[in-house]
Amino acid sequence: MGRVRILVVDDSVVIRKLLTQTLSSDPQFEVVGSAGDGRIGLAKIAQLNPDVVTLDVEMPVMDGLTTLVELRELYPKLPVIMFSTLTERGASATLDALSAGASDYATKPSNTGSPQVAIESIRAELIPKIKALCGVTAVPKLASLPQPRPVARPRPAIRRRIEIVAIGTSTGGPNALAEVLPGIPKDFPVPIAVVQHMPPVFTKQLADRLSSRSQIPVEEGAAGVPLIPGHAWIAPGNFHMIVKRAGLGCRLDLNQESPENSCRPAVDPLFRSVAAAYGGGVLGVVMTGMGSDGTIGAKAIREAGGEVIVQDEASSVVWGMPGLVYQAGQADAIYPLNQLAGEITRRVQESRQLRPVASTKSFASVEHPAK
């Protein structure tokens, strides 16, 4: 394909110039225009036919959320990345935008940073998201599903008793979690630990929103919190969240060790920790997201005797994380988003029966239920 055509919509002249110069420095991009408010931005979409739009959240005349709603009515498939400040107000507006159909978001560089720091921030966060959404760095297409995949090692014939569910997700994750967690019943018998790639402030607001819509409490994770059944915890921004044994139970712990897969929080540290703490009693779930985070952790879960299921390509915003787990042969099954909550619940409840449940399927193949 040719260069990705980008329209920048932002009320700040400085930000428009910074985005235009930084994005144009990538040979795969062409910034075809810019606009200072949403109304002008909508008009330029019709004129310029961009492949992707970066859209400021707070603007005069027509703000980002209002613009997005109108944009989605006219251009339902056009990728839109919200560009917001790292504040409570910016986080709230961004989550509203994601619910209204934004494809992803990026946070604006701090005003106190140097221009070079701002440029590097855009290169590190925004450019990969544009490429992922526009298919520039997409996971190679696989043959039509279902298709048997090799596994890392022979699977046990007996399904283990599941003691925890660990979920990892990134691009498209807030909306995916908003479908999965509200589908978990209030008497769910095990805890749920979630890593969603998000910065500070955003993760707390995401947890609060999910909790208000779910039958189980959803909270931002904190160090020392004991894991109890029927609760879910979201890893806080800028911290890895892991699980540690504490007496007869387990608790959460946080650290700021080096980012993994360019992420903090990252999925791999959580997955490795639950495999170490619970052995084969883990159900790992990898949902929509760009990059490879979760692949190594999924291998650790399965080598410990646990299970891993992934979201399918058709229902994912970006089939990077789940796609790479699948390609690596580390997925026991693959499901569309609208089946994940039911499948998580079924697997956990069946595994909690007193006698082990014998597998009726070969673990050397991947299930793909009919939609």
Catalytic positions are: 170, 197, 293
In single-letter form, the type of residue at position 87 comes to T
> 70 CB contacts (<8 Å, ≥6 apart)?
38, 42
DSSP codes of every residue in 29-62: EEEEEEESSHHHHHHHHHHH--SEEEEESS-SSS
**Distance between CA atoms of residues 172 and 166, nearest Å:** 17
E strands along 110-265, which residues?
A: 158-159, 164-169, 192-196, 218-220, 232-234, 240-246, 249-255
Dmax (CA) for the chain in angstroms is: 66
Query: Quick one: angle between helices 202-213 and 173-180, nearest 10?
Result: 30
Which residue from 238, 246, 308 is spatially nearest to 272, judged by alpha carbons?
Answer: 308
* DSSP 8-state symbol, 287: -
**Distance between CA atoms of residues 254 and 26, nearest Å:** 36
> 5 CB contacts (<8 Å, ≥6 apart)?
30, 32, 48, 49, 50, 51, 52
Helix (H) / strand (E) containing 13: helix 13-24
